[in-house]
Structure 1
Amino acid sequence: MGSRHTLGRLAEESWNRFDDYDALYYEGRWHRSHELAGRARRAAGGITGLGVRPGDRVVVMMATCPEVPIVYQALWAAGAVVTPVVFLIGPEELAHILRDSEPAAIVTSPELLATVQATGTTLPVVVVGEAPPGTVPYASLEEADERPLADVAEDDLAALMYTGGTTGRAKGVMLTHSGLWHTSLAARRASEIPGLTRAIVPVPLSHAYGLIVTLVGMHSAEPPQSVLMRWFEPKEFLRLAAEQRAQIGTVVPAMLQMLLGEPLEETPLPELRYLTCGAAPLARDVLTEFERRVPGVTILEGYGLTETSAVTTFNPPDRRKIGSVGLPLPGYTVTIRDDSGEALPEDELGEICVRADSLMTGYWNGPDLTREALVDGELRTGDIGCVDEDGYLYVVDRKKDLIIRGGFNVFPRDVEDTLVRHPEVVLAGVVGRPDPRLGEEVVAYVQLRPGATVTPEELIDWARDRVGRVKYPRELHIVDKVPVTSVLKLDRKALRAREPGKE
């Protein structure tokens, strides 16, 4: 029947804990918990019928919909390894993931089938929706008999999550059943507020943040309810949150910035109490402005990486520190180290390093990359930050994004946070470009609100007055859209590609 701390058993226990109830809302209707459980159990039988065996990887490439968590739970019940792929990638990167992970099958949807087929794959392709000849209709999987839980061990792989596509070739992060089980339980204990059970979820379930959100709900002491969004759109988020009386929600910083461009005061959200925010650093001014305009809502920041099973620190609801990303979850230790690996005292900036039993076991087919990232069992995150006297972590920027201008360190986030404080700015991205005299120069890309009239020169002056003469951008470009990744993180790789001499 499988070990105690495996995700197939976690799903079964969560289904059996409560009577049948409205569990998941999507595009106009609520899905009942027993309906979802039955579908997942039958799909597990159908997946096994395809020839998928315990330990096999199965790529899941879909926009958010009810079938995503159903397929995840079915794969875990069958002992397979969930391999989520963000739905916005192209054929070339998907082909790399297929070559690297060597999956037994692919699950996708009709609008993404052309991308899958463009890779030339000969694998079984399961299509959720209308399935053309040569593919497997997902509905046929749910016609199978339910199957018992596969016998898997706690330290077996549960997920192979590809990350790093914005910095180079995507790497497969190996996460175990036990690691994801313990991290999701710790995250639930750190974030759960009794009585607040209805969550709006606009983050992609194909991302580590979205995956852990689905697992956190399985540990809930009260029947959890999720309002799923296929993808984030600010007006629809506000409409759904109001209509479905969302009490909590999961967001990333760019979503909050986009929401600030909406008439928030015209959409009352009387039941919304907390928004958890992660995946990228949040500007303090964005947090305070959102809370000012949406009274009664508290934003709780957290921090994590795919390599740490998605969550590392979180702000306790009753002991939040604005500007920090909170305290380490139980079982996690955060140490700040200098370039030589020595631990630094409180309030000193250095590389954030994490130790926990829930860390990845390594990168798939990447022993050299694993040795670089895991040093004596501790993850070198590549992020720069510090820890205060109370143990709260503050994240400054990515180590690789640091700009060294004339010998001075410039953290792009400092400049970006200053630019988005301008009332006509929606998003800002800052990168360095080679400079023969100074080594690197600071370059900014800015997306403006509709009807904005501010000029690049005025924004440069705005930044110079606030960040000083070393850090302010000497070049500033106004663009239609600042590029972001599929989870709405700033895509600095795309910005660097616009600069001559940089990848």
Structure 2
Amino acid sequence: MTVYDEKPWLGRYDPGQPAGIELEHDSALAMFRASVARGPDGDAIRYFDGRISFAELDRLTDAFAAGLAGEGFVAGERVAIFAQNVPQFVIAQIGTWKAGGIAVSANPMYRERELAELLTDSGATVLVVLQSLQRDVAAAVVGGTAVRTVITTSELDFQSRDEPAVFAGVERIDCPGTLDLVELLDRHAGTAPPPVSLGPDDVAFLTYTSGTTGPPKGAMTTHRNVVFNAQSYRDWIGIGPDDVVLGIAPLFHITGLVGHIAVSLLAGAPLVLMYRLDPALTIDTVEAEQATFTVGSITVYIALMNAPNADRAKLASLTKLYSGGAPIPPSTVEAFREVSGNYIHNIYGLTETTSPSHAVPFGAEAPVDPDSGALSVGVPIYDTIVRIIDEDGTELPAGEIGELVTEGPQVVTGYWNKPEETATALPGGALHTGDVGYMDAQGWFYIVDRKKDQINAGGYKIWPREVEDVLYEHPAVREAAVVGVPDEYRGETVKAFVSLRSQAQVTPEEVIAFCKERMAAYKYPRQLEILDEIPKTVSGKVLRRELRSR
């Protein structure tokens, strides 16, 4: 793959040579300790009216680690964190590192079977869990796993407000047989945990991903991966201690883990948490906290710009905007800029690349491919090489479509206890992403779609994203998703699902006619269903499997 010298932001990476970016810290824990030393009194976490300074976060995580040791935890064991965007997530993660352990992120939307699979696969011996999730999910499954210590906590802790809509119906719950986190921290306050040694190649956390095939796998994200991409975020965008990081991505997701927590710990910038996403509350929080940077799915930005209190004055401070995790229609970027005055920069990566492998340089605008209408996901970040290959593994030249294969210091070492899956997805350390795209002659990359999402209608290949981009141009459409469904004549045909903007009224036939005027005959949707909401994961990705099952 040609890398163009006239594009200075294009990275270089040779697996046999030292990385072009020198790691400033041996571990994510060392990264945090450096920020504590530089600015102990600065806010590390803001949670409604609660404030936790870097020095206080250091003391709390010491107490957490000492508490783990007191319960028999030893270095190398795993701590599963089953919670929303609350300060306790950050406390548990850093405290786990101080105890020499590995943090395991659990999606708070998991039900019993999914949580049991994660706990069993990771072999976690400690579970940190919100009281409501303990009652509704975890209590029924921990007995059949290696978990011997359950630490419960409330989303009402570390702040005093109870009026936000996100706390509607929330109450403190008694959880017999568990330890209360706040009580544990109080009991071990002022206690230093036993010293541990963490290096770049030690695993910092396991992040579970379904990847391209098969059951969820725990990607082994090393401290090197975390530090490298925290530095990449900081330097690529220009994030410093005067910035305020807005936590809109779920903390269990790789975007939240690196683009929120790790960036905040490295830059010494406060991280603003809001338990879970409420668009109107988020906009008010941006204004109140003067948040400057965030990264999240495009569906979050769609929700924000459609909130009743969205306006330029409230969103003015939020100038460092990035979005990834799902294709971004150019029309949505422009619609958000119309509302907020600020441009959303594209970013691309996977769990296995510890968040970004590509990004649009801050201050630049992504080009739009004139043929497909696709918005570029950017260029490879520092020290990263990306090749486009065909089905035979042959490297393709610029302009040709194939699978993206990524190499760089941010690529994980493999999957937890899954050597065969590691060998398949990461042969020689190069990640075969399962994403299909191409690079143009100037070095910009474009994602077409996932391999498995391509629609084959009578021999014609159709990428859902291309149809979705046209749907987003319709003034009544708020969100759109396209899948292939069985068809007696064509084998497979295009079906679209859309949700509408507030007060908008339109029929499926009218939207189909809109697409028919703007697309080749084989591409436009033959079926269209209007939903109140497009089903999505908590990280904002469309659940195409659920739509197909309809």
Fold-level match, TM-score > 0.5? yes
**How far 1:487 sits from its partner (Å)?**
0.8
- For residues 180-259 of structure 1, what are the structure 2 equivalents within 5 Å? 180-193=226-239, 197-213=243-259, 214-220=261-267, 223-259=268-304
- What does 1:369-388 align with in structure 2 at a 5 Å threshold? 369-388=421-440
**How much identity, in percent, do the aligned residues show?**
33
The within-5 A match list for 1:336-347 is: 336-347=388-399
Correspondence 1:456 to 2:499: no
Which secondary structure state, in structure 2, belongs to the residue aligned with residue 311 of structure 1? strand
Q: Report the CA distance between 1:320 and its aligned residue.
A: 3.4
Taking structure 2 as the reference length, the TM-score comes to: 0.86
Provide the aligned length of Structure 1 versus Structure 2: 493
SS in 1 for 2:397: coil
Bigger mean CA offset, 121-130 vs 196-205: 121-130
Work out which of the residue numbers 156, 175, 179 in structure 2 matches 1:136: 179
**Aligned-CA RMSD value:** 1.9
1:432 is aligned to: 484
| Pairs within 5 Å for 1:74-473 | 74-113=95-134, 114-121=136-143, 123=147, 124-129=149-154, 131-142=174-185, 143-144=187-188, 145-164=191-210, 169-193=215-239, 197-213=243-259, 214-220=261-267, 223-263=268-308, 264-265=310-311, 268-295=314-341, 297-322=342-367, 323-473=375-525
1:284 positional shift: 0.8
Q: Look up the SS of the partner of 1:60 in the other structure.
A: strand
Distance 2:414 2:465 in 1: 29
Give the Å deviation of 1:167. 6.5
Q: Which of 86-95 and 464-473 deviates more? A: 464-473
Aligned equivalents of 2:103 and 2:151: distance in 1?
A: 14
| C-alpha distance in structure 2 between counterparts of 1:105 and 1:402, whole Å | 41
- Confirm or deny: 8 A CA contact 2:284 2:314 kept in the other structure: no
Give the conservation status (yes or no) of the 8 Å contact 2:25–2:227. no
SS at match of 2:518: helix
- 1:188 and 1:25 map into 2 onto residues whose CA distance is 20
**Partner SS state of residue 262, structure 1:** coil
Deviation at 1:162, TM superposition (A): 0.7
TM normalised by structure 1 equals: 0.93
The one-letter amino acid of 2:182's match is A
Distance apart, 1:168 and its partner CA: 5.1
Structure 2: how far apart are the matches of 1:18 and 1:37? 12
1:169 and 1:497, CA in 2 relative to 1: closer, same or farther beyond 3 A?
farther
Could you tell me how far 1:385 is from its partner in structure 2?
1.2
Please identify, of 481-490 and 45-54, the stretch whose mean Cα deviation from structure 2 is larger.
45-54
> For each residue in 1:30-75, what CA deviation from the matched residue of structure 2 results, as whole angstroms up to 9, or x when unmatched?
2222111211111111112222211111110001111111111111
Instruction: Spell out, residue by residue over 1:429-458, the C-alpha distance to the aligned partner (whole angstroms, 9 max, x if none).
Output: 111122343221111111122332200111
Distance 1:307 1:47 in 2: 29
CA contact (8 A) 1:57 1:104 kept: yes
Could you tell me whether the CA contact under 8 Å between 1:63 and 1:87 is conserved in 2? yes
* Aligned mates of 1:324, 1:149 — CA distance in 2: 46
Deviation at 1:22, TM superposition (A): 2.5
Contact 2:44 2:264 in 1 (8 A): no
1:337 CA drift (Å): 0.9
Q: CA deviation at 1:420?
A: 2.0
Contact 2:357 2:410 survives alignment (8 Å): no
Q: Is the 8 A contact 2:61 2:92 kept in 1?
A: yes
Structure 1 unmatched ranges of 5 or more: 499-503
Q: 1:197 to 1:379 in 2, by over 3 A?
A: same
**Alpha-carbon shift at residue 467 of structure 1 (Å):** 2.3
- How far off is 1:486 after superposition? 1.0
Give the distance between the partners of 2:214 and 2:49, measured in 1 at CA: 39
Please give the secondary structure, in 2, of the residue aligned with 1:441.
strand
CA pair 192-260 structure 1, distance change in 2 beyond 3 A:
same
Moved more, 225-234 or 145-154: 145-154
Structure 2 CA distance, aligned partners of 1:374 and 1:251?
A: 26
Q: Give the gaps of 5 or more residues in structure 2.
A: 1-23, 155-172, 368-374
Matched to 1:100, the amino acid is: D
Q: Which amino acid aligns with 1:116?
A: A
| Partner SS, residue 314 of structure 2 | coil
- TM-superposed CA distance for 1:472, in Å, is 0.9
Q: Distance in 2 between matches of 1:167 and 1:483?
A: 21
Q: Distance in 2 between matches of 1:206 and 1:419?
A: 31
